[in-house]
């Protein structure tokens, strides 16, 4: 079962689209069957046979009744399809926003996703957490879509159709997932070299889990004094290297001097399952490989290799590991 199957809808926009799709498929499928059969019949019945004489068949130049019929019927079909479509457009694009809705601002970057929860004061990257929505007391998530550079597109097929993120052109969309779970997708508007690995991971959680996640994410990074002492020496060294190298120009770690916004917020890096916008599992090894040379994993990505020596690399990785 594909995790990105558009027919496995699990949220109202995707459901509504699925309903329309099935109707359209039924209509076009019927048209196909009828015309296909007519074509097949024609080429079989009216083919020249070996015993045929050379006389030309009757030359029929047209028939007003037949041509009228096969004009009027398509017009009616088109009208029906149009009306069905117009209804769905309105229901998805002009949906009212209920009081319990969660707001998330999604900012597309080359080649990662920034998520800001303005009301809940949370900033994170690449893995979006939203609460499941119950039909009786809906808590949909309304996403405002912005871009920091080129055009991107947010497509998680099981939750909704795709909507583009275009600089200087804010868009919005909404989802109300019916079930908890992990929903996958990826950027769907060519945005540059690493468009292919700008993956989407949407974690739909129960309300409790979501609230706990928010609470954890809104805290600043734990100060070094609270970290287990076995780790703290290497990690401390790592923090110093991090803060004195160009890392802080791009990355934010809340509660420290690192306030860069060009790259993802790393405050709670270890709370994520993946790194590099979904391209790698978040293990110590992968993290180390990534920091050493991002271009080896995502050629063309905008994070440079900082040419760290091995001990320094270990230290910085250790520091990253403390960012829970």
Distance of CA 140 to the CA centre of its chain: 16
Structure tokens at 16: 């509504």
User: At closest approach, how far in Å is the CB of 21 from another protein?
Assistant: 5
Q: How far apart, in Å, are the Cα atoms of 144 and each of 89, 214, 323?
A: 18, 19, 28
Measured from the CB atom, the residue of 63 and 309 that comes closer to another protein is 63
Q: What is the full DSSP assignment across 281-310?
A: E--HHHHHHHHH-HHHHSTT-SPPP----H
3-state secondary structure of 104: strand
User: At closest approach, how far in Å is the CB of 88 from another protein?
Assistant: 5
Q: How far apart, in Å, are the Cα atoms of 314 and each of 98, 125, 128, 234, 277?
A: 48, 23, 29, 8, 22
Measured from the CB atom, the residue of 14 and 320 that comes closer to another protein is 14
Structure tokens at 223: 């100060």
User: At closest approach, how far in Å is the CB of 77 from another protein?
Assistant: 9
Largest CA distance in the chain: 101
Measured from the CB atom, the residue of 231 and 295 that comes closer to another protein is 295
Task: Specify the DSSP class assigned to residue 163.
Answer: E
Please report the beta strands in 59-198, taking only residues with DSSP state E, as ranges in sequence order: 102-109, 112-117, 122-125, 127-131, 141-147, 152-154, 163-165, 171-175, 181-186
Q: Cα(82)–Cα(90) distance, rounded to whole angstroms?
A: 12
Measured from the CB atom, the residue of 84 and 254 that comes closer to another protein is 84
Measured from the CB atom, the residue of 48 and 99 that comes closer to another protein is 48
Measured from the CB atom, the residue of 81 and 231 that comes closer to another protein is 81
User: At closest approach, how far in Å is the CB of 45 from another protein?
Assistant: 9
């Amino acid at each position: 079962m594909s995790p990105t199957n558009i027919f496995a809808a699990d949220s109202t926009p995707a459901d509504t689209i699925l309903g329309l799709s099935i109707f359209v498929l039924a209509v076009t499928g019927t048209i196909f069957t009828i015309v296909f059969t007519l074509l097949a019949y024609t080429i079989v019945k009216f083919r020249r046979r070996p015993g045929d004489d050379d006389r030309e068949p009757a030359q029929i130049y047209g028939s007003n009744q037949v041509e009228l019929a096969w004009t009027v019927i398509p017009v009616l079909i088109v009208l029906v399809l149009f009306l069905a479509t117009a209804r769905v457009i309105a229901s998805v694009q002009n949906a009212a926003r209920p009081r319990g809705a969660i707001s998330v601002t999604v900012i597309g970057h080359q080649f990662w996703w920034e998520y800001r929860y303005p009301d809940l004061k949370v900033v994170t990257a690449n893995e979006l957490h939203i609460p499941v929505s119950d039909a009786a007391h809906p808590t949909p998530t309304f996403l405002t879509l912005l871009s920091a550079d080129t055009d991107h597109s947010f497509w998680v097929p099981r939750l909704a159709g795709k909507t583009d993120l275009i600089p200087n052109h804010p868009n919005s969309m909404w989802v109300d997932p019916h079930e908890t779970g992990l929903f996958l997708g990826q950027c769907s508007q060519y945005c540059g070299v690493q468009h292919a690995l700008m993956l989407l991971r949407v974690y739909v959680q129960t309300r409790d889990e979501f609230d706990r996640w928010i609470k954890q994410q809104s805290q600043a990074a734990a100060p070094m004094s609270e970290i287990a002492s076995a780790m703290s020496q290497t990690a401390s060294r790592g923090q110093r290297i991090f803060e004195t190298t160009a890392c802080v120009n791009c990355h934010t770690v809340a509660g420290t001097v690192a306030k860069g916004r060009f790259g993802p917020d790393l405050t709670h890096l270890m709370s994520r399952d993946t790194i590099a916008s979904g391209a790698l599992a978040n293990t110590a090894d992968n993290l180390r490989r990534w920091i050493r040379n991002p271009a080896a994993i995502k050629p063309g990505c905008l994070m440079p290799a900082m040419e760290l020596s091995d001990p320094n690399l270990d230290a910085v990785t250790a520091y990253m590991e403390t960012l829970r």
